[in-house]
Amino acid sequence: MKIWDKGFSVNEKIEKFTVGKDRILDVFIAKYDAIASKAQANMLTKVGIITAEDNGKLQSALDEIINRCEAGEFVIDENYEDVHSKIEAELIVKTGDAGKMIHTARSRNDQVLVAIQLFLKDYLTETREKVLQLIDILVEKADEHKDELMPGYTHFQAAMPSSFGMWFSAYAENLLSDLYFLDAAYKVADQNPLGSGAGFGTSLNIDRRETTKELGFGEMAVSSVGAQMLRGKTEKSTAVAIAMLSATLSKMSYDLVMYNSQDLGFVKLPKEMTTGSSIMPHKKNPDVFELTRAHCNRLQALPNDITMTINNLPSGYHRDFQILKEFLFEPMLQFNDILDILIFAIPQLEINDDFMNQEKYDGIYTVENINHLLQSGTSFRDAYRLVGISVDEGTYEPHKSFKTTHLGSIHNLGLDEIRAKIKRYSGR
Amino acid sequence: MKIWDKGFSVNEKIEKFTVGKDRILDVFIAKYDAIASKAQANMLTKVGIITAEDNGKLQSALDEIINRCEAGEFVIDENYEDVHSKIEAELIVKTGDAGKMIHTARSRNDQVLVAIQLFLKDYLTETREKVLQLIDILVEKADEHKDELMPGYTHFQAAMPSSFGMWFSAYAENLLSDLYFLDAAYKVADQNPLGSGAGFGTSLNIDRRETTKELGFGEMAVSSVGAQMLRGKTEKSTAVAIAMLSATLSKMSYDLVMYNSQDLGFVKLPKEMTTGSSIMPHKKNPDVFELTRAHCNRLQALPNDITMTINNLPSGYHRDFQILKEFLFEPMLQFNDILDILIFAIPQLEINDDFMNQEKYDGIYTVENINHLLQSGTSFRDAYRLVGISVDEGTYEPHKSFKTTHLGSIHNLGLDEIRAKIKRYSGR
Amino acid sequence: MKIWDKGFSVNEKIEKFTVGKDRILDVFIAKYDAIASKAQANMLTKVGIITAEDNGKLQSALDEIINRCEAGEFVIDENYEDVHSKIEAELIVKTGDAGKMIHTARSRNDQVLVAIQLFLKDYLTETREKVLQLIDILVEKADEHKDELMPGYTHFQAAMPSSFGMWFSAYAENLLSDLYFLDAAYKVADQNPLGSGAGFGTSLNIDRRETTKELGFGEMAVSSVGAQMLRGKTEKSTAVAIAMLSATLSKMSYDLVMYNSQDLGFVKLPKEMTTGSSIMPHKKNPDVFELTRAHCNRLQALPNDITMTINNLPSGYHRDFQILKEFLFEPMLQFNDILDILIFAIPQLEINDDFMNQEKYDGIYTVENINHLLQSGTSFRDAYRLVGISVDEGTYEPHKSFKTTHLGSIHNLGLDEIRAKIKRYSGR
Amino acid sequence: MKIWDKGFSVNEKIEKFTVGKDRILDVFIAKYDAIASKAQANMLTKVGIITAEDNGKLQSALDEIINRCEAGEFVIDENYEDVHSKIEAELIVKTGDAGKMIHTARSRNDQVLVAIQLFLKDYLTETREKVLQLIDILVEKADEHKDELMPGYTHFQAAMPSSFGMWFSAYAENLLSDLYFLDAAYKVADQNPLGSGAGFGTSLNIDRRETTKELGFGEMAVSSVGAQMLRGKTEKSTAVAIAMLSATLSKMSYDLVMYNSQDLGFVKLPKEMTTGSSIMPHKKNPDVFELTRAHCNRLQALPNDITMTINNLPSGYHRDFQILKEFLFEPMLQFNDILDILIFAIPQLEINDDFMNQEKYDGIYTVENINHLLQSGTSFRDAYRLVGISVDEGTYEPHKSFKTTHLGSIHNLGLDEIRAKIKRYSGR
């Protein structure tokens, strides 16, 4: 009956269970552990705990590890339970007694946390760049398709004339709103916990200002207890930022999946983004956008996963925090892949040009008919009534020629204002 | 069997179902609807759609409504399904034809949304103030109790000496981190959607810059499609901010509930915050902190509630958005009540003074014993081994006199640095 | 700035905060508290703690309270913080010393819990009836519309011919699957916790078998510690059952909202279920189904709300449990309203008859063309290729006359099999 | 800056993105795909679509695949995007034209779904066995430790005498309650979707009763549309069952982590279940129970993850469903590992014997003092007052000798009744 038992003994299971996926996942933070160790060694040298000579050896050995990390050549073999024991062991092999000093006045707790903080800062910076790139693309697409109308829907009902210019720029502006949360997550990550030890500091004479400065943190997490409380909070903050962005990208994908249907038929998706059916030769399934939607929806649940795991634990470290890596790191990777794919796909979106004149969309101009009557002096209530009667009696003729003037409307998209808004945000 | 049927017919149920709780909940946004209507009327006057005379009447009538809202005297009676129809009806009664003009170039959709945005801006401003007040209190308490030690826990195990100075300041700093998300929510709310109509703009000649300026919005939600997409997003943004703050307050409450137990006994809770038992005369139940924890935990689920409700809906208005008010407004109120209660309770917390010298906590000084050996030249590995042996053999004598020097540690809390950090954030 | 402060002092706020909404919400369980008190009094009489005479008085007084509950006349006034203190006070007024005995060998904890268990049992029984009624309606609608075809969609693409017969019966069967969870919730509720006291039993000589029998519980929650652990678990079990049913009803509503659009136009919704637009006279917005969807989606988040509130609390009562009533009872009510509305609406659904022959749906017959070729001896791979070529070259002619034979297909819906499946489940 | 780019081109990324982790995850369902294919081939033979000879070849080839699956030797190489294409290709290689017939009257959609259903049935059966084994262990532990008292807590306050007998049996009974949901999930999985094709059936003359019978399904998912709607629902049903069980195991772990602290010190955890600290030689960290708690908490969020992914999708297949495997299969595996670890660990739990007589627990006997006074004729209110006064005045002497008699209490655990309850459930 054991459907996937691999024959491990219970003791092996316990070892596997406690180590978890640390060996695989810690590769992501190996570089940052080495960077933080360099700062720690420099500081310990400055306060007289490590000699200049030993520090020289440590700096070289750590630089070499960083190089291997960047070349993708750093591996955590089975002799080590995590990246921290692996790096420490390497340092001892290469530098002897110097390596034995590196853990002075540091605990595993602040060591992991500082590496995670540095990692998240880089991740969030990269993600922010990609999102800004996608925003620019959306504004350009809005410009490119500014004259192409589409029905605007409310209650899933074709309601009023809309346009792809407004649609593309809508997503640009909404992604910009989401970036406010990414910036908040960055600020949470931009606090140095190094020196807080196991969450209660140390009686050794360390200088936390030094490591804060060398590592480029904007702030110090001053209280040692408070620094440790960032564990979980900082991961969740990043998850919240990803979730907010994902909500917008999921909605955009949902629109595109529908716009690609035979019933709406507004867009033609890039060929690489659709697949055929093994039994229905007429279909062009929008798989990439369905999967983008699915992954973005799953990512929206991440903050809840994290909260469920870390909630109702009193202050202080709990081993529970370890498993956050297991369900956070891979989705973070996936999210940036999605951004890459959209950056590739969106420029290739084509708009069909034959759908607006279908009779089923005649009704969307009733507001224009009403506005037209308003301009000739009829009151709104009368105009509404008259157009309503014409719809009921079948004499309604859609008033398709109209002209909007206000910012953010079909004929005045306000793209320059949107570009200025982006610039105010991004500062470039 | 019908356990709570109140005898409504199905048609009445349908009416109740579609109106929902709008009549009750809209009272929260009535004032903001009136404020936005004033801006709308002024703008319509400027572009020549309303006469100056009519506008004068509208401004007076709306001012009067705002006064009633502020006095708590504005009620939405059963003749009206929501605040918008109620206010419009009042305006018509009081100003005649002028009132009939107020809805020109506006849709229910941008009307609700602009009122919600203004409401959230005020709410978030008020909440930010209360949180900053609580932060100040926590820093003061850290100062007051800076010499009072407590065991620091990891894995629920008494691990090392900690202090109430570090504990109080930890929560101050963590709440500050949470405020970054409140600021993000504020920025989302600080975008003017008025003029976006039903999400596709209008062909009437309105001027959205005017209303943006008069209403004090920092930005305009330019794209009409994008403006409408803020519905749901802006509510969720506020919920996320509340959830982040709630996580910290829940943890603080959890600590206090435990610290109040007979087993730990670190604190004495304010009398109003505890209750006795109807059958156990010896108990002092920490009900207020249990309820704070419970409500804060429930609030942490709010963003998920909202996402579940609005997710996988394509762009454009859906009636689904209406129910967000039902499960967001009341919890928002509750959250600020919690802040008031904590602002009242925290200053009254007393620390017991007899618990640190219990034998069960002797082990927490082992790190100090090790550090002491380090200072006399023993290597870390040797020192760790020696202390371990003394623990096993029962000869261990805790080294209780120690002195920390680094920022954020027991004897150097860094409260001035924390105060400076708060000032950098709050700008005052 | 205080946007909704009602002028309460902090002490009043604390009192309000700890009492919460108990006075309002406890009305739902008042009847069950009285029923359980009757059983408790009878049992106490049997074991000799209460005299037969006193018990007679108690039974009469409690019957009278039950009558008032059923007549909707039982109110918890402000002098009492909850239903339990209110009922006990009434008993003392009416029966004197007898009333003072009713709380013997009982704690508030098992008293609330047994009332909740009885309440949930009734609620789940009523809900099950309504769902079975809706299932029957769906099977009847499947029969009524068994000849009406519709396009079947995959990936939002019109894929193959489907039918309203399959569609209606699909939801009938899926609701039946959901009822398995309702039955699980019922079994959780069908365990008697009375006698477990505050979770650790009592040294008084009570007989828990008596109350189990009189109250009609299927099982006893034997361990007193375990009985108390049902608090939270039983509420969550009911929430899970509602959530499973809600998922199905949400999907059905989503379908109907889309089928009501101008783009699909498959159904005509009952008039009471749609609303017009204040500015677009052509629209028929499917508000009731949008709100059904929205509420059902929000209900799907309920189990998560509960878990977030009660998770990571060690065994034993916590005041946190109190707030479950606040966010569970009202949604439970709402869910049964939704069932009533659907029981009213579904029979009135009309199917439009003019949509299947649109050219845009020609592609859905490609599988039939392939199957037709298969029957004349062509291999599947060749047939697929030939039909694909005809689609590409524009020579494709849909093979619209086809006949299915297997159970659960267009021309053999298997409604009798479904009816038998329902009967096997419901036993009637 | 690209922190984990592996140098894939966008097109490679798209391919990776759409294939996802199917190659790895499909190994779990390979055996079930082969089993279902055997039933499909037998049925197609019976209705005359496949010859007996061809079927013979297919049965042998599929049996051989099943053997490899069971031996852990079945691998999906990179030439195939999933298990279905891999198996079909193998069949064609081994059986020629026979292999080309296997996909007749079947779609990828019902093929995946039937394999998932069979897989879940086996998984749930295995899990149920393990849970029942754990329940038995807990009842035995209750018996073993029936005389060992502990303080019972409410509001985190030591409240009344409790016992390990009640504590162990509490978890046994609560796990039994959770199994009701596992049975519900099993019933959802026990419905045959094979023959529903892409969700709309087929016009080929298949016999779904045959496959239902051969595959051992208790019911048929009759409506083809409804059968397809089980996708997502069946995975979620299993996730709900796991989540319910996880809630109980998380709570048990939480208790044990606390009971292992220096402050409570009730239990001694098995050595393999604790770890030391690298800097604090006095600690015994309960890592395994912390990780059990963490994983169980994360598993409690799984139903929400699934709902977020599949909600608000209209009926019919969506590619979104594919990713459910990515976040469901591995946690399912982990859950059964946790059960194995608990089955190993719980029997080794030792109870310390020196903690009950600490002065801090004197208060827990106040109820006994009151009950003692009751038995000598004092009224409850008087007794409560007298004991309260003695506590306040420091004259209180705990009445530690007491005797409980009712089922589920300290001195009458009712283990035989619990064993009978388990038997009524499990039928053995």
Q: How confident is the model at residue C5 (pLDDT cuts 50, 70, 90)?
A: low
Confidence at C1, pLDDT banded by 50, 70, 90: very low
Residues of B in contact with A266 (CB under 8 A): none
Query: Contacts of residue B327 in chain C, CB cutoff 8 Å?
Result: 298, 327
Average pLDDT, chain D: 93
Least confident of A62-66, B174-178, D16-20: D16-20
* DSSP H helical ranges for C71-207: 83-95, 97-101, 108-144, 164-189
- Judged against a pLDDT cut of 50, whether residue D148 lies above it is answered with yes
Say what the ipTM of the complex is.
0.96
Do B155 and D311 lie within an 8 Å CB cutoff?
no
Query: Residue B422 and residue C86: Cα distance in Å, rounded?
Result: 49
Contacting residues of B for C291, CB less than 8 Å apart:
17-18, 20, 319-320, 322-323
Q: DSSP states of C219-251 as a string?
A: EE--SHHHHHTHHHHHHHHHHHHHHHHHHHHHH
Average pLDDT, chain A: 93
Quick one: tokens of A81? 């339970």
CA nearest neighbour of B152 among A223, D297, A102: A223
Spatial separation of the C-alpha atoms in residues D373 and D382, rounded to whole Å: 9
Low-confidence residues in chain B, pLDDT < 50: 1
Q: Helices (H) and strands (E) in chain C — how many of each?
A: 17, 6
Render pLDDT for A126-144 as a digit per residue (tens, 0 to 9).
999 999 999 999 999 999 9
Sign of the four-CA dihedral D314, D320, D324, D325? positive
Report which residue type is found at D255. D
% chain D with pLDDT above 90: 77
Give the residue carrying structure tokens 């190094």.
Answer: A194
Return the percentage of chain B with pLDDT > 70, whole number. 97
C-alpha closest to that of C115 among C105, C127, C123 = C123
- Kindly determine whether residue C233 and residue D177, on different chains, have CB atoms separated by under 8 Å: yes
What is the rounded distance in angstroms from the CA atom of residue D355 to the CA atom of residue D252? 20
Chain A interface, Cβ < 8 Å to C: 153-160, 257-258, 260-265, 277, 279-287, 290, 304, 307-308, 311-313, 360-361, 363-364, 366-367, 370, 384, 387-388, 391, 396
Q: Report the C-alpha gap between C191 and C143 in whole angstroms.
A: 40
pLDDT in tens, C382-423: 888 899 899 888 899 999 999 999 999 999 999 999 999 999
Q: Which helix (H) or strand (E) holds C152?
A: strand C149-154
* pLDDT of residue C346 exceeding 90: yes
Domains of chain B by residue range = 12-101, 121-193+224-356, 357-426
Q: Which of A156, A253, A358, A389 to mutate to test the interface with C (most CBs of C within 10 A)?
A: A156
Superfamily of domain D12-101: Fumarase/aspartase (N-terminal domain) (1.10.275.10)
Of A170, A187, A200, the CB nearest to B152: A200
Look over chain C and give the mean of its residue pLDDT values, rounded to a whole number. Answer: 93
Pick from D303, D293, D180, D186: nearest CA to D246 = D293
Model confidence pLDDT, tens digit, residues C207-218: 999 999 999 999
pLDDT at C270: 82
Q: Do D6 and A322 touch (CB under 8 A)?
A: no
Give pTM, 2 decimals.
0.96
Q: Counting every residue, how long is chain D?
A: 428
CA-nearest of C113, C149, B281 to D363 is B281
Amino acid occupying residue D338: I
- Say what the pLDDT of residue B6 is: 53
Kindly report, residue by residue over C163-212, the tens digit of the pLDDT. Answer: 999 999 999 999 999 999 999 999 999 999 999 999 999 999 999 999 99
Residue A28 has pLDDT above 90, yes or no: no
CA dist B65 and C210 (Å) reads 62
Give the number of other Cβ atoms within 10 Å of residue C88's Cβ: 18
Stretch A347-367: mean pLDDT, rounded? 94
The type of residue at B383 is: A
DSSP, collapsed to helix, strand or coil, labels residue C154 as strand
Pick from A182, A190, A189, A153: nearest CA to A170: A153
Q: What is the dihedral of CA D386, D388, D389, D395, to 10 degrees?
A: 100
Residue of B44, C152, B394, D279 whose CA lies nearest to A198? D279
Task: Say yes or no for a CB contact (<8 Å) between A312 and B303.
Answer: no
Instruction: Write the residue in A13, A14, A291 that is nearest to D17 by C-beta.
Output: A291
> How far apart are the CA of A251 and the nearest CA of chain C, in angstroms?
15
The pair phi, psi for residue A96, each rounded to 5°, is: 65, -130
For residue A315, list chain B residues with Cβ-Cβ distance below 8 A: 153, 167, 170, 251, 255
Check CB contact under 8 Å for D360 and B384.
no
Mean pLDDT of D142-148: 97
Q: Do domains D12-101 and D121-193+224-356 have the same CATH topology?
A: no
The encoded tokens of residue A412 equal 């005045």
* Whether the Cβ atoms of residue A380 and residue B104 lie closer than 8 Å to each other: yes
Nearest-by-Cβ selection for D290 from A4, A288, A320: A320
Task: Say whether B156 and D260 touch across the interface (CB within 8 A).
Answer: yes
- pLDDT tens digits for range D184-236: 999 999 999 999 999 999 999 999 999 999 999 999 999 999 999 999 999 99
CATH hierarchy code of domain D121-193+224-356: 1.20.200.10
Whether the CB-CB separation of D388 and D370 falls below 8 Å is answered with no
Question: Closest chain B residue to D385 measured between Cα atoms?
Answer: B281
User: How many CB pairs below 8 Å do chains A and C form together?
Assistant: 119
CA distance to B305, B331, C168, C232, C244, per residue, from C297 (Å)? 8, 19, 21, 21, 10
Query: Hey, what are D32's tokens?
Result: 């079930």
Residue A101 and residue A45 in contact, taking contact as beta carbons nearer than 8 Å: no
Residue C2 pLDDT greater than 70, yes or no? no
Chain C residues with beta carbon closer than 8 angstroms to that of D258 = 314
pLDDT at C235: 98
Nearest residue in B to D366, CA atom:
B280
Contacts A–D by Cβ distance under 8 A = 149
Cβ–Cβ < 8 Å for D281, D288: no
Over residues C110-122, the mean pLDDT reads 97
pLDDT tens-digit readout, B25-84: 888 899 999 999 999 999 999 999 999 999 999 999 999 999 999 998 998 888 888 899
**Sorting pLDDT into bands at 50, 70 and 90, what band is A1?**
very low
- Rounded alpha-carbon distances, angstroms, from residue C416 to A305, C176, C423, D228: 44, 15, 10, 20
Closest-CA distance of chain D to residue C381, Å: 9
Q: What are the residues whose beta carbons fall under 8 Å from the beta carbon of C279, sequence distance 6 or more?
A: A367, A370, A384, B107, B198
Distances (CA, A) of B71 to A284, B22, B88, C2: 60, 20, 20, 12
- Give CA–CA dist D235/D185, Å, rounded: 9
Chain B neighbors (3+ CB pairs < 8 Å): A, C, D
Model pLDDT, residue D374: 82
CA count, 13 A, side-chain hemisphere, A217: 28
How many Å lie between the alpha carbon of A291 and the closest alpha carbon of chain D? 5
Nearest to A202 among B199, B258, B404 (CB): B404
